[in-house]
Amino acid sequence: MANSSQNDRKIIAEHPLDTSLDRLREPLRNIEQSYKLSSLSFDGAADGPDLGPQKIISRLLSALLGHEVTYNLRSKVGNNDIASELSELFKRVRSGRYNYEHYRALSRLVVKRASDVDIWNTVFELITTVSQTTPPTSIPASFDSTPITRSSSSFQGSEQTRRIVESALFYEIKGCTYRNVGGFFEKYFDGRCWSHKSKSIYNEITEQYRGGRWIDFPSQPDEDAVWDWLSRFQDKHLSDSRGIFYTTESTGDLTGGEAQRQPDLFVKRRGIEKSGKHNWKDVRVIGELKRSKWPLKKILLQLVRYTRDVWTAQPNHRFIHGFLLHGTIIELWVFDRSGCYSSGEFDIYKKSEQFIQAIAGYAMMSDEELGLDTFVEQDKEDRLITITEDLTGQERRLQLEQNPIAIQRAIVCRGTNCYRSKDTNRLSNSLGSLTSDDQKPISLD
């Protein structure tokens, strides 16, 4: 059995498994009892009506992925953390590319209520065993100068548990996340056709700014209190804006996604019928509210996860706006296909005008300013593009099918989406924006 280091043991002790695997012991015991090495290998066996090996091993890997310790323990076969390796194992099991024999030792230790150290040592050994028996991939390390890396692109539907998706997203953005980007505020919030309106709103409410703080802003800025303030603010000052802020009370408030999510705030275009529920295809801006400051890695991954849901429902976005407000500290973010970029944190009391300009700006931005690809026009339920014919040089409008036949679910990628034209058998490609920046990315480790 693989031996854990003293530092590994310390990390494991700080993050005990406790009762998290208790519900899996009985089904694991049943699988082990029915396993006959001489007659049945369970090698990619499909599950029947009972809880079969594929499902229960998937649940075991998912439960282990749900622990913070997986982000802190390092793999013995590479430079990745255990979360990344378990994510790969989960995908292999779900696709049927696994051998139950490799998972027996781990399964039996869980059934026997072994120590946490023994269980994680066996996880190390499992990762090593599978890596040694996995044939080399036939896909080259790069194609057309685009590196092939781990990403969230393959996750779909019910397999998109928070831990699994966030593990993949972490590796997408860890080397391309930039804070305190110079000129960020000027690029997105200054010099716009609505900038004078946002400044007028600020001037209107300066009487509420006394003693270095907004007297109307909640002194205890929990989610409900901040939402009450924002509701009053937009009712009074943004009644004619293009967009409107909404909140969610349950995961069922937002439909149209591949997995249930519950962002604290989002903006959608005014005038869209609600019909009792909202839809991810209408979300334009994502916001998260926290009463106190959270670790950047944790809260940013949460925001990125929501951003990925917007891109999946609206693949014609070039970039997406988001913001984090914890207490009285706000950070504005823009996500595009090259990574994550922020204004840097600022105090809403010390930079009160920027705060009001940002909140008002999100509600007044045009589709182009919100990052939608205006090359693809939306006319009610129809998507239209204008092309120039190669032979004649004349412009021609094509009507596209509403749903693309191929999209990119990853955040950091080329962002290519493919639509079929209703007029001909042509296919139309829409390429997401890739930007470059001279700044060095921050560390999320």
pLDDT band at 442; cut points 50, 70, 90: low
> What are the CA-CA distances from residue 56 to residues 217, 293, 308, 324 (Å)?
49, 37, 28, 37
The reported pTM is 0.62
Between 54 and 325, name the one with better pLDDT: 325
Supply the pLDDT for residue 331: 97
What 3 state SS string does the chain have?
Answer: CCCCCHHHHHHHHHCCCCCCCHHHHHHHHHHHHHCCCCCCCCCCCCCCCCCCHHHHHHHHHHHHHCCHHHHCCECCCCCCEHHHHHHHHHHHHHCCCCCHHHHHHHHHHHHCCCCHHHHHHHHHHHHHHHHHHCCCCCCCCEECCEECCCCCCCCCHHHCCHHHHHHHHHHHHCCCEECCCCCHHHHHHCCCCCHHHHHHHHHHCHHHEECCEECCCCCCCCHHHHHHHHHHHHHHHCCCCCEEEEECCCHHHEECCCCCCCCCEEEEECCCCCCCCEEHHHEEEEEEEECCCCCHHHHHHHHHHHHHHHHHHCCCECEEEEEEEECCEEEEEEEECCEEEEEEEEECCCCHHHHHHHHHHHHHCCCCCCCECCCCEEECCEEEEEEECCCCCCEEEEEECCCCCECCCCCCCCCCEEEEECCCCCEEEECCCCCCCCCCCCCCC
Supply the pLDDT for residue 3: 64
Specify which of 32-36, 53-57, 106-110 reaches the highest per-range mean pLDDT: 106-110
Supply the pLDDT for residue 169: 85
pLDDT band at 1; cut points 50, 70, 90: very low
Give the mean pLDDT of the chain.
Answer: 81
On the question of pLDDT at 36 being above 80, the answer is no
Q: What is the mean pLDDT of residues 379-408?
A: 80
Q: Which residues contact 294 (CB under 8 A, 6 or more apart)?
A: 326
Give the least confident one: 99-108, 339-348, 354-363.
99-108
How far apart are alpha carbons 227 and 266 in whole angstroms?
A: 11
pLDDT digits (tens, 9 = 90+) for 218-275: 988 889 999 999 999 999 999 999 999 999 988 888 888 777 788 999 999 998 765 6
Supply the pLDDT for residue 151: 53
Q: What are phi and psi of 304, to 5 degrees?
A: -65, -35
Supply the pLDDT for residue 402: 77
> What are the CA-CA distances from residue 69 to residues 81, 82, 173, 212, 305 (Å)?
10, 8, 20, 42, 20
Give the rounded percent of residues in the chain with a pLDDT score beyond 70: 81
Supply the pLDDT for residue 396: 85
Supply the pLDDT for residue 282: 92
Q: Which residues contact 103 (CB under 8 A, 6 or more apart)?
A: 57, 60, 126
Q: Do residues 84 and 75 touch, judged by C-beta distance below 8 A?
A: yes
On the question of pLDDT at 431 being above 50, the answer is no
Residue 256's CB: how many other CB atoms inside 10 A? 15
Q: Do residues 136 and 153 touch, judged by C-beta distance below 8 A?
A: no
pLDDT digits (tens, 9 = 90+) for 127-163: 888 876 654 333 333 333 434 345 555 455 444 556 7
Q: What is the mean pLDDT of residues 92-97?
A: 84
Give the least confident one: 147-161, 194-208, 389-403.
147-161
pLDDT digits (tens, 9 = 90+) for 284-311: 999 999 988 788 888 899 999 999 999 8
